Structure 1
Amino acid sequence: MKKKKESSILKKLLRLGVKLALAVVALVVIFIFSVKLGLFGKLPSEKVLKNIQHQQATKIVDKDEATIGLLFRVYRSNVQYEELPDHLIDALIATEDARFFEHHGIDYRSLGRVLFKTVLLQDRSAGGGSTITQQLAKNLFPRDINNKFDIIVAKVKELFTASKIEDLYSKEEILMLYLNTVNFPDNTFGIGAAAQTFYNKSVDQLTTDEAAVLIGSLKANHTYNPRLFPENSLERRNVVLSQMLKYEKIDEATFDKLTALPIKLNYTNIQPNYGIAGYFREQVRKQLVEWAEAYQKKTKKEIDIYGDGLIIHTTLDKALQEAAEKSMKEHMALLQKAFEREWGNGGKWNDYEVYAKYVRQTQAYKQLAKEGKAENQIMPLLSQKENRSYYDINKLKTAKISLIDSVKQSIKQLQAGFVALDPDNGDVRAYIGGKDFQHFKYDHVLQSKRQVGSTFKPFIYATAIEGGVDPCKYFPANAVEYADQEGWKPVNSDDEDYKYLNVTMQEALRKSMNTVSVKVLEEAGIADAIKTAHEAGIKSSLPEVPSLALGTAELSMMELATAYTAFLNKGYHFEPRMITKITTASGEVLAEFETKEGEGRAFDKETAALLLEIMKTVVDKGTASRIRWKYHIQSEIAGKTGTTQQNKDGWFVGITPDLVSVSWVGADDGAIGFRSTALGQGANSALPIYAGMVKQMEKSKELNSEYLNRFEKPEQAIFNQLDCPPVKEDGFFKKIFSNKDKKKDFNEEGKQNTNIFKRIKKIFN
């Protein structure tokens, strides 16, 4: 009786168990179908899955299609399946999904193992059980997790999505999509980005051990980051290689050889501002923002310059840019040391009134001021030393210094700028806005306007020649005090008086004589000189004062470079161009940007040819002659140096038939200049950037043939106009009876006379 009773209870429990199991199964089935029906959020539709898209970095390329940088929110660069090496695919499948080619998105054997071991036995060593296709689904449609139930819902969604993906795509396409979307260490998305970041190479160049390192990192991006934890990464790499051995993707000998190798990275920290031509790329980005707004307004189509994988075709020459950046870095390191050594402890950056204004702009100062502290209380607090980072001689350093010391370090840094234009179309071939885009964002090519010094003089001389002044006319080289200009007395940078000497324009420009330039401006007329400059492409307002002859005008580097192209274009100029066209990754052209010729003609072709010949002598035997005797450059070059008052700005303009280059050096703070003209003059501060670049160009077959050609030989009439002795000394009686020290007014007589000649010249032309 007792046995019957026990048997009855057992049957009841069994029936109850079966009912409970069936109920659980029913609930699971109902739950699964409710997920499929979208009761817990819609599943991606077939249409969405057919058009799988994800953000892809926009690529910026140079004039020859070489990549110079990327624009992205998250760094991702897609690759095609054909670019994926076999050993990369083998490593992925052997490690993540050994039966990938056997299942249809769901590996039921692995799923069963996970359910039994992980859920029932609480053994987490069983792994996640997700196939590559399921992981792809997770990558494409990120989970929205708030609790454990959400994880279950997400897993079921991924099962259905994975099955749909398998229906729509081939196995090869799934592998390509997966490797383009998966997240690798250091916030790099996709195998293309990972290969570039960690090994500075394309995917198809990855070796087997390198592929194993990257695939191994997928298990835990941080833990197996080869940059941060090389030992962990090495151990994980060898696990991947052992899986490849297990599934016969490599043999024993290869396994032994590869596991013995150390991890060697060629790490490239790819960020939006990474790469060459940072300042140029930032200007391109700004132009793209404006273009995208206009494009969307016109076409009603959305466009994302950071994620649509656009190709931005620019005018930059990567090889030339690299040569310019290399020259600038090398020169500025030496110049900065010489600059600080020359000033010693007497540098202006140590003056309270100079550094204090920058200290007041810091958050630390503002916070203390907000707390009610006076400046005499704040400054001692900010003088306390602690570990800080600061920029010095082309790199970031760390030392125990005060906030005030770090401010001084910043403001004493010399800056540099460089821009090179193709005179035939205005295309920007090289562009350096400062000496380090990572640390100094201010762009000295377009944002900054500085006094240009003697680089403005050719426009004064061109105006005078246009007005009828004979290039062989002799101008007194002595210094004159102008009574109507409050006793202003321009002198020459070499401090020579040249009291009884008279010189031609060629001699005056060769030696950059300030005294003569003012007298030439008298002949040319201030208004006409300004008109010439504006027609050459200068857009800034120019001061209507005699000191214009000495370059007191404040211009951007781009304006100056643009204006100088008129000397190679018979008096005409082109507006600067940075972007030639914008295309999609597949090659569809979205926009094209034509060259744009500037309005007006600054001067005729004869005047342009005369000034070019004169500026050749500046390089061959004038203020820029160190190009020859110091740098031993043989190429044909015309040019002009420039130095402003108190040696605050150094300039050099270099001209070859196919390139106009402008370099500038100075400190950002107007109170800081060089102590001596010997160090601060444009020939010493700015010219070496250009010279260093040209030295590299002469060694490069491509750059040499493209930019260092010979000038077209001018007509004999040009040489005839310059065929006169450069210097003529006053005669005996003129020395006795003339009063060279007499004050005079800066008058309009010369302008009136030249205007007559100008009118006559136009009649005969």
Structure 2
Amino acid sequence: MFLGLGTVIALFLLLIYNGVIGYMPPIEELEDPHDKLASVVIASDGTTELGRYFAGAGNRVNSDYKTVSPHVIDALIATEDERFFDHSGIDFIALGRAGVKTLMLGDKSSGGGSTITQQLAKQLYSRPSSNMLKRALQKPIEWMIAIKLERFYTKQEIINMYLNRFDFLNNAVGIKTAANVYFNKEPADLNVQESAMLVGMLKNPSYFNPLRHPERTKERRNVVLEQMVKAGKLPRDEAEAYKQLPLGLDYHRVDHRDGGVPYLREEIRMLMSAKKPVRPSRDKYKSNLAYILAMGQYNTDSTQWEENPLYGWILKNPKPDGSLYNIYTDGLKIYTTIDIKMQQYAEEAVYEHLGGTLQPAFFKEKQGQVTGPYTTNSDELSRSGVMNLIKNAMKQTERWRVQKNAGISEAEIEKTFHKPYEMDIFTYVKENGKYHPGSKSVTMTPYDSLLYMKSILRTGMMSMDPTNGYVKAYVGGPDFNYFQYDMVSRGRRQIGSTAKPFLYTLAMEQDYTPCSQFLNTQPTFGNWSPRNSGSARIGDMVDLRWALTNSNNWISARLVYELGAKNLANKMRMFGVTGHIDATLPLALGTVDVPVKEMVAAYTAFANKGMRVDPVFVTRIEDNQGNLIYSTTPHRSEVTSEDAYYKILSILLNVVDSGTAASLRGRYGISAQMGGKTGTTNSNSDSWFMGFTPELVTGVWVGGEERYIHFNTMALGQGARAALPIYGFYMKKIYADKKLPYSQDTKFTFPADFNACSGEMFTSSGESEVEEVSEGIFD
């Protein structure tokens, strides 16, 4: 009878093993189980992790068996499978014990008979089922899969796969992520008690969740320590000492948005996932302006699609089998150009200036205004319809959307915006003498909180190498948690006087020199008469070097009139401006909207002998096996001739030495040879500074979320006061760090026989810093 029963069981298991009964994964899948791995974004040093892309609970990065602490292995085997190295997938001794004690004696605490290999089989292939037959088959199927896994993998590989796949909760999938999330360590550095806690979670991570149930988890950890003693892996006295210790958590919340350089990581994700742009159809747009803007974006995206290999990378680079990569599950390693120290200095510079000076001054100026941060200028108020802007902002909130969908009237919804609630809002926090983004708890109405958040000044900053395009630092806003719109790559704002070097480059190509003379009086072209400030040299003949050094609007207007606005627009295209350009005379004063990223790329031509280089964010990408599947090649294009380049360079150096950017010398004490240009648009809506050395090109923009949010006066609103200080702080930190490869002794090299204009190449226009003017582009 027993022989017959044994024969039936053996035949039954054989049929399962060969896939006749139940599901048995194909041999190919057993040889290479499908992995769902988070993709990792890595800094330029090749080791520092900046963040990850993953979906749901998919935050898993593989760790090699050799890099896992032996304490983890000892605790795992002692607790989960003490005869792991002696069986071939099924531990018949443990199975028999479980059968006798559990089924015959009713001892439910005796434990099960599942081996580590069986648990791995369940992780890989078992799914919950409501079908009784399928549930009955599940365990024997796991046995057979376990036997097959033992055929294809070594014991170490099985342990490695098991630890790499287990979900430790709190977005910690796999031992590597769990070690980081709970203890801020690498798996190799886990000590005995930490290893015991993580192994203890394997029994039931929800029940033994150290964040929710620390005492319960500690008791489970101590059980694991006791098992290690029984298995001879830990002396009794040491175990007793470890049992008295607290859990010792160093918890780090993990989200795919967390980590370093969040704005750039999001930009890389969007670039890689981009679809091929489709030309907009005119009949889908209600106004001609909306269609023009859509066409401008289409032109930008089309240029990216053709020239940027990272743009649409997923669609452009299918796997060998024709399927597409998934950055959330394919475990890619994405190596970026970001220098972690330079990124730190860029962020510190932003927080130091905005948090320490600009934001407090902005709050002080706007205190008591009914319209909050919005302008009080009567002309702007009539044009903008500020109350309508605020109403539209309310309609874009989640609070409004939920109530609207619930059928509540707009009048009733608006009432809820004037009822106080407890909430957290953004603020700058000063600790140890440094500012950083933070939050504070307040009681405030949603209406007031909306105006408060709009009062927070936005910024965009990018710094890159002008020779190869490698982006070293990238700050897309004051804080990604509160302000996720990226003002480096996505935001477009008017560029003001930072456009003038494009115009002057065009002039240097057309037989003008820095010494060419113009009459310094206000010109009028039709109904446009650009404004200037100051009374210096009015009515005199002035040269182009003086005019650009002092950001003179009148001379720029006269120059674009002679050269032609269309020619200037074409030159801007050569500099890399991709959006819509209105080729009218005010273009010379910066009426075009351009993102910081494009401006920094454009200014690389001034640092690189007239050659513009596109920004590079990613140097290479590897698949989860370490195979190289993408590497970058810098894309360069010639913008101007070398002769014109040296002429315009000589002027831009003078801007820093004695023009609108002269505070870099006195206030910030920077002696390095550098060029630059400040920019300020109408009513201080946009403040810019573009600075460059032979080794770095950096752009900074500062402004409000909307153009009607700005300083009332130029005292702090102009580019030299709002944007330039960030550049000054940043470069001071760069030069102070002797481990970085940047020196204040590095110079631009001019040809030995170069003479811009009769030996006047570096004529100074004065010793004191010059106040920049607001462009008056619409006057």
Q: Same fold (TM over 0.5)?
A: yes
* 2:498 and 2:590 in contact (8 A); partners too: yes
1:722 aligned to 760, 763, 771, which one?
Answer: 760
**TM-score of the superposition, structure 1-length normalised?**
0.85
Q: Which residue is 1:339 aligned to?
A: 362
| Structure-2 change in CA distance of 1:206 and 1:108 (3 Å) | same
What does residue range 361-380 of structure 1 map to in structure 2 within 5 Å? 361-366=396-401, 368-369=403-404, 374-380=409-415
Q: 1:201 & 1:696 partners in 2: Cα distance? A: 29
Which residue in the other structure is 1:628 paired with? 665
Matches for 1:58-457 after TM superposition, within 5 Å:
58-66=39-47, 67-73=49-55, 74-146=58-130, 150-289=134-273, 290-296=312-318, 300-334=322-356, 335-346=358-369, 348-349=372-373, 352-366=387-401, 368-369=403-404, 374-393=409-428, 394-457=437-500
Segment of structure 1 superposing worse, 235-244 or 114-123: 114-123
Q: Tell me the residue number matched to 1:744.
A: none
Q: CA deviation at 1:455?
A: 0.8
Deviation at 1:302, TM superposition (A): 4.7
Shift of 1:727: 5.9
User: Which range is displaced more, 130-139 or 234-243?
Assistant: 234-243
SS of 1:717 mapped into structure 2: coil
Q: Which residue of 2 aligns with 1:616?
A: 653
Q: Is the 8 A contact 2:464 2:696 kept in 1?
A: yes
Shift of 1:344: 0.8
CA distance, structure 1, for counterparts of residue 219 and residue 80 of structure 2: 17
Distance 1:128 1:328, change over 3 A: farther
Secondary structure of the equivalent of 1:705? coil
Structure-to-structure mapping, 1:347-746, within 5 angstroms: 348-349=372-373, 352-366=387-401, 368-369=403-404, 374-393=409-428, 394-478=437-521, 480=522, 482=524, 484-486=526-528, 488-492=529-533, 495-496=534-535, 498-598=537-637, 601-705=638-742, 709-713=746-750, 715=752, 717-718=754-755, 720-723=758-761
What are the ranges of 5 or more consecutive residues in structure 2 without an aligned counterpart?
Answer: 274-311, 375-385, 429-436, 767-779
Residues 103 and 337 of structure 1: CA distance in aligned 2, closer, same or farther (over 3 Å) = same
Q: Secondary structure at the match of 1:157?
A: helix
Q: Secondary structure at the match of 2:368?
A: helix
Q: Distance in 1 between matches of 2:11 and 2:590?
A: 84
Shift of 1:147: 5.3
CA distance in 1, matches of 2:107, 2:368: 69
Give the residue type in structure 1 aligned to 2:640.
Answer: F
Closer, same or farther: CA 98–374 of 1 in aligned 2, 3 Å: closer
1:597: how far off? 2.4
What SS class does the counterpart of residue 725 from structure 2 fall into?
helix
CA contact 2:492–2:594 (8 Å) conserved in 1:
yes
Indicate the residue corresponding to 1:8 in structure 2. Answer: none
Q: 2: CA distance between counterparts of 1:94 and 1:218?
A: 13
Identity %: 34
**Larger Cα-atom Rg:** 1
Cα displacement (A) at 1:374 = 4.8
In 2 relative to 1, CA 246–298 (structure 1 residues): closer, same or farther, beyond 3 Å?
closer
Q: How far did residue 157 of structure 1 move? A: 1.4
How far apart in 1 are the matches of 2:173 and 2:743?
39
Alpha-carbon displacement from aligned partner over 1:566-616 (angstroms, at most 9, x marks no partner):
112322312333333332233323233322223xx4322132223223222
With over 3 angstroms needed to count, the CA separation of the structure-2 counterparts of 1:463 and 1:193, relative to structure 1, is same
Query: What is the CA–CA distance in structure 2 between the aligned matches of 1:678 and 1:288, rounded to whole Å?
Result: 42
C-alpha distance after superposition, 1:426-463 (max 9, x if no partner): 33332222222333332222222110011111112222
**Residue-by-residue CA offset, 1:367-418 (whole Å, 9 max, x unaligned):** 5456665544431133222333433332344433333233223322221111
Q: Could you list the per-position Cα deviations for residues 190-229 of structure 1 after superposition, in whole angstroms to 9, with x for gaps in the alignment?
A: 1111112222332112222222222122222123233333
Cα offset for 1:652?
0.9
- Shift, 1:256, TM fit: 4.0
Displacement after TM superposition at 1:270 (Å): 2.7
* Preserved CA contact (<8 Å) 2:498 2:679: yes
Q: In the alignment, is the contact (CA less than 8 A) between 1:652 and 1:683 conserved in 2?
A: yes
| Distance in 2 (alpha carbons) for counterparts of 1:331 and 1:261 | 44
* Structure 1 range deviating more: 367-376 or 109-118: 367-376
Question: How big is the alpha-carbon RMSD for the aligned residues of Structure 1 and Structure 2?
Answer: 3.0
Bigger proportion of residues as helix: 1
Give 1:359 shift.
Answer: 0.7
CA–CA distance in structure 2, aligned partners of residues 282 and 530 of structure 1: 31
Greater shift in the superposed pair: 717-726 or 75-84: 717-726
SS at match of 1:391: strand
Contact 1:697 1:704 (C-alpha < 8 Å) held by counterparts: no
> Contact 2:496/2:680 (CA < 8 Å) preserved in 1?
yes
Which residues of structure 1 form unaligned runs of 5+? 1-18, 729-765
Paired with 1:422 and 1:276, the residues of 2 have a C-alpha distance of 20
| Cα offset, 1:178, TM superposition | 1.2
Other structure's SS at 2:649 match: helix
